[in-house]
């Protein structure tokens, strides 16, 4: 290494040392950095402690909710509240329950949030004989979220409302939990107010008011929200009203389906969804599954619907928009509920003056007559069919006839049997031609077998088809007679399939060995669960399966057309087994209907075949031969085109064979 290289290295080292000295922080800077590090560490430790504490609080809240101790739950939440700004006077107080009892239900209103805390319907019980609770006690069933002029966000669920009863135009303050019985020809009015104020007192002219009115024998509750003297406190262009409920399981379900995502094995879960009416249309956000939908148009109402019961929030005019969220219970750890439902609707709030937003609440069964009588389109929540004609048949024929039969006070199993018998009489003109055609085909079976032997080769298919058609015309057989009646019956069949699982009239109604026609009738609980089948044996389903299998065997025995189609024959015999697995967890009323309907169908078929005289068919064939003897056979344009297409297909097949 020479002198110049050494000098260069020394200079580079000197520059590096000088730069490090130049950029080194002073003692004051070092101290400031240490202070920042310490503050970050303390903040981090505090945040961890806060998260741990909130997790502990939430765990405590969850345990209280699971234990049903809503009072302790509210007290814990109240202890965590912070500054409520202009509503500080309503931030603390005692929890008071107002229990209203009319002929239809018990409704509990809590002054914390002025919300409907609990609803128990009279005359109904759950599958395990407990009282039917439609609304579950929770801390956030109802809530209005808004911002004050000083930028605070207020949730009404955190406010303590002062409860009053309206009597003869006068307000009477309620100071303790009280029970009220609604007398006949009376309307019970309750008013709850959250006042503006602080530790020095409240302003009696500035408050948020919830108004509830109950009638003697109604599921409908008048419900208004008013804002008085708040134009200088709340100047928001809109408000959100949050409505939440955990949908309790009310019906029996196969143990293998609890917590499962397969909603088709759980009828109650399948029919559970949030429904809403926007303009003239009624829609849902998804049957029995998780969903999150933003509706950006005006809504008339929002409903939390289960298989047989629903809770509906009804706007007097309309809601501005809505966000609807449904979270299913798929974990399976807690089978006591189906899902959590939440709706957030926009309220038409007028900030420049006192404002009242009139609404209504409906808590009750999804009975068609009950819903239809309110003329708000609630009955459209019931799935009466997949297309217009089946829905029309349900509304015009099935439901009125079923309701008429109810007036005789028969057992509902008897009503189903009588109703099925009447339905088969109505459908008899459609089925007569079909069964008569089947009887004619049975008579023609020897001739059909002879034609199959005469034309065994594929290239002779056209000649065989022509001979078969000629034979059928001679006997008076119409191919459409077998298909058209089935198509015409489809709207009725689909309507019946949808009607029985949703008919609350059948709920918990016994018949023979079945104690509830609205769900499956288990005569044997299996110690294991079969895929698709379940963990029980339904006797009505077995009877339906046996009758359908016998019906298939009887019809297949005389249909020679299946002789050359073994795959079709297998499918026909496979259908009863598929129905056995599909319908094992279906409503017993539906299986009873199918069993009795198939029995009547079988009887009709046997009688029609018996009275379809082979002698008359042979005489008709002879008369046809005599009438058309020596005449060229006249063919329709459709038949000519069909034969031409068959001829071209045969030519193409021959050319393909020659190339090979």
pLDDT band at 112 (very low <50, low <70, confident <90, very high): very high
pLDDT of residue 188: 95
* 407 alpha-carbon distance from chain centroid: 29
Mean pLDDT of the chain: 79
pLDDT of residue 164: 95
Q: Which two tokens stand for residue 60?
A: 């405590």
pLDDT of residue 259: 52
What residues contact residue 427 under an 8 Å CB cut-off, 6+ apart? 489, 492
DSSP state of 514: B
Same domain, yes or no: 99 and 143: yes
Residue 536 has pLDDT above 90, yes or no: no
pLDDT in tens, 326-370: 988 876 556 788 889 999 999 888 877 888 999 999 999 999 999
Q: Which two tokens stand for residue 195?
A: 């006042």
Largest CA distance in the chain: 135
Query: 370 in helix, strand or coil?
Result: helix
Report the share of the chain in percent with pLDDT over 90: 31
DSSP state of 585: T
Residue 457 has pLDDT above 80, yes or no: no
**Are 252 and 516 spatial neighbours (Cβ–Cβ below 8 Å)?**
yes
pLDDT of residue 435: 66
Between residues 65 and 353, which one has the greater pLDDT?
353
Same domain, yes or no: 375 and 406: no
**Are 215 and 362 spatial neighbours (Cβ–Cβ below 8 Å)?**
no
Same domain, yes or no: 242 and 169: no
Rounded CA separation 181/106 (Å):
9
Same domain, yes or no: 275 and 352: yes
pLDDT in tens, 483-535: 655 666 777 778 888 888 889 999 999 999 999 998 888 888 888 888 778 88
Same domain, yes or no: 139 and 215: yes
pLDDT band at 226 (very low <50, low <70, confident <90, very high): very high
pLDDT in tens, 279-321: 778 999 988 888 999 998 899 999 999 999 999 999 998 898 8
What residue ranges in 199-336 does DSSP mark as E strands? 201-214, 220-228, 239-248, 273-278, 281-284, 291-295, 299-305, 309-319, 322-328
Residue 634 has pLDDT above 80, yes or no: no
The torsion region of residue 207 among left (phi > 0), alpha (psi -120 to 50) and beta comes to beta
> Does a structural domain hold residue 506?
yes
Q: What would the 3-class secondary structure string for 43-100 be? A: HHHHHHHHHHHHHHHHHHHHHHHHHCCHHHHHHHHHHCCCCCHHHHHHCCCCCCEEEE
> Does a structural domain hold residue 52?
no
pLDDT band at 5 (very low <50, low <70, confident <90, very high): low
Same domain, yes or no: 370 and 395: no
Between residues 336 and 380, which one has the greater pLDDT?
380
Lowest mean pLDDT of 13-22, 124-133, 252-261, name the range.
13-22
Same domain, yes or no: 448 and 327: no
Q: In this structure, are strands 97-101 and 178-181 parallel, antiparallel, or unpaired?
A: parallel
Phi and psi of 454, rounded to 5°? -70, -35
**Are 226 and 235 spatial neighbours (Cβ–Cβ below 8 Å)?**
no
> Does a structural domain hold residue 528?
no
> Does a structural domain hold residue 395?
yes
Please state the rounded mean pLDDT for residues 600-624. Answer: 68
Rounded CA separation 136/86 (Å):
31
DSSP state of 183: P
**Are 232 and 354 spatial neighbours (Cβ–Cβ below 8 Å)?**
no
Lowest mean pLDDT of 10-14, 19-23, 190-194, name the range.
19-23
Report the share of the chain in percent with pLDDT over 70: 66
pLDDT in tens, 245-270: 999 999 887 765 655 555 556 888 88
Q: In this structure, are strands 281-284 and 201-214 parallel, antiparallel, or unpaired?
A: unpaired
Same domain, yes or no: 73 and 211: yes
What is the number of domains present in the chain? 3
Same domain, yes or no: 210 and 298: no
Domain that holds residue 82: 69-234
Please state the rounded mean pLDDT for residues 465-484. Answer: 63
Q: Which two tokens stand for residue 429?
A: 């003109």
Same domain, yes or no: 126 and 264: no
pLDDT in tens, 274-289: 999 987 789 999 888 8
What residues contact residue 455 under an 8 Å CB cut-off, 6+ apart? 461, 463, 464, 467
pLDDT in tens, 359-373: 999 999 999 999 999
What residues contact residue 106 under an 8 Å CB cut-off, 6+ apart? 99, 100, 118, 119, 120, 122
Same domain, yes or no: 180 and 79: yes
pLDDT of residue 657: 65
Same domain, yes or no: 208 and 260: no
Helix (DSSP H) and strand (DSSP E) numbers for the chain: 16, 23
Rounded CA separation 574/594 (Å):
17
């Amino acid at each position: 290494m020479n002198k110049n290289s050494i000098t260069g290295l020394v200079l580079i080292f000197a520059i590096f040392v000088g730069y490090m000295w130049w950029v080194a922080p002073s003692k004051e800077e070092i101290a400031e950095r240490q202070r920042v590090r310490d503050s970050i560490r303390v903040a981090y430790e505090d945040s961890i402690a806060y998260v741990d504490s909130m997790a502990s609080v939430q765990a405590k809240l969850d345990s209280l909710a699971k234990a049903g101790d809503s009072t302790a739950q509210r007290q814990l939440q109240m202890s965590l509240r912070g500054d409520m700004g202009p509503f500080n006077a309503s931030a603390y107080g005692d929890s008071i329950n107002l229990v209203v009892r009319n002929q239809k239900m018990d409704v509990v209103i809590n002054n914390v949030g002025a919300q409907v805390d609990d609803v128990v319907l009279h005359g109904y019980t759950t599958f395990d004989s407990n009282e039917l609770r439609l609304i579950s006690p929770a801390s956030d069933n109802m809530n209005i979220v808004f911002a004050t002029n000083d930028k605070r966000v207020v949730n009404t669920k955190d406010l303590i409302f002062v409860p009053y009863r309206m009597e003869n135009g006068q307000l009477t303050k309620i100071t303790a939990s009280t029970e009220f019985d609604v007398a006949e020809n009376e309307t019970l009015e309750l008013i709850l107010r959250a006042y503006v104020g602080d530790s020095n007192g409240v302003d009696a002219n500035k408050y948020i008011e919830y108004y509830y009115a109950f009638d003697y024998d109604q599921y409908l509750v008048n419900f208004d929200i008013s804002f008085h003297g708040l134009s200088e406190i709340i100047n928001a262009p809109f408000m959100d009203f949050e409505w939440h409920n955990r949908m309790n399981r009310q019906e029996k379900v196969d143990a293998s389906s609890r917590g499962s995502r397969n909603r088709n094995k759980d009828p109650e879960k399948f029919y559970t969804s949030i429904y809403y009416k926007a303009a003239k249309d009624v829609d849902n956000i998804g049957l029995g599954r998780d969903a999150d939908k933003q509706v950006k148009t005006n809504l008339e109402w929002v409903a939390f619907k289960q298989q047989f019961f629903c809770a509906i929030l009804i706007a007097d005019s309309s809601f501005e928009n809505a966000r609807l969220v449904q979270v299913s219970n798929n974990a399976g750890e807690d089978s006591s509920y189906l899902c959590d439902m939440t709706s957030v609707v926009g309220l038409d709030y007028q900030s420049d003056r006192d404002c009242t937003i009139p609404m209504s609440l409906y808590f009750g069964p999804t009975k068609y007559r009950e819903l239809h009588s309110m003329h708000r389109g609630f009955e459209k929540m019931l799935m009466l069919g997949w297309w217009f004609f089946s829905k029309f048949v349900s509304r015009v024929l099935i439901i009125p006839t079923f309701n008429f039969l109810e007036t005789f006070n028969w057992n509902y199993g008897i009503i189903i049997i009588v109703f099925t018998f009447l339905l088969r009489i109505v459908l008899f003109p459609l089925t007569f031609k079909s069964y008569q055609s089947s009887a004619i085909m049975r008579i023609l079976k020897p001739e059909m077998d002879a034609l199959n032997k005469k034309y065994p080769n594929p290239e002779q298919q056209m000649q065989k088809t022509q001979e078969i058609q000629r034979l059928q015309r001679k006997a008076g057989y119409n191919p459409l007679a077998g298909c058209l009646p089935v198509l015409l019956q489809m709207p009725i069949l689909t309507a019946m399939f949808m009607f029985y699982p949703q008919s609350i009239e059948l709920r918990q109604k016994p018949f023979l060995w079945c104690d509830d026609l609205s769900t499956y009738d288990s005569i044997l609980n299996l110690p294991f669960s079969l895929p698709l089948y379940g963990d029980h044996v339904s006797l009505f389903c077995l009877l339906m399966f046996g009758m359908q299998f016998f019906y298939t065997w009887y019809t297949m025995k005389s249909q020679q057309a299946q002789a050359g189609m073994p795959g079709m024959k297998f499918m026909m015999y496979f259908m009863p087994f598929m129905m056995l697995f599909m319908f094992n967890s279906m409503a017993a009323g539906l299986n009873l209907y199918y069993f009795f309907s198939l029995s009547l169908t079988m009887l009709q078929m046997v009688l029609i075949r018996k009275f379809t005289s082979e002698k008359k068919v042979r005489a008709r064939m002879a008369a046809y031969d005599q009438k058309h003897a020596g005449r060229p056979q006249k063919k329709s344009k459709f038949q000519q085109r069909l034969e031409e297409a068959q001829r071209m297909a045969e030519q193409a097949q021959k050319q393909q064979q020659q190339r090979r």
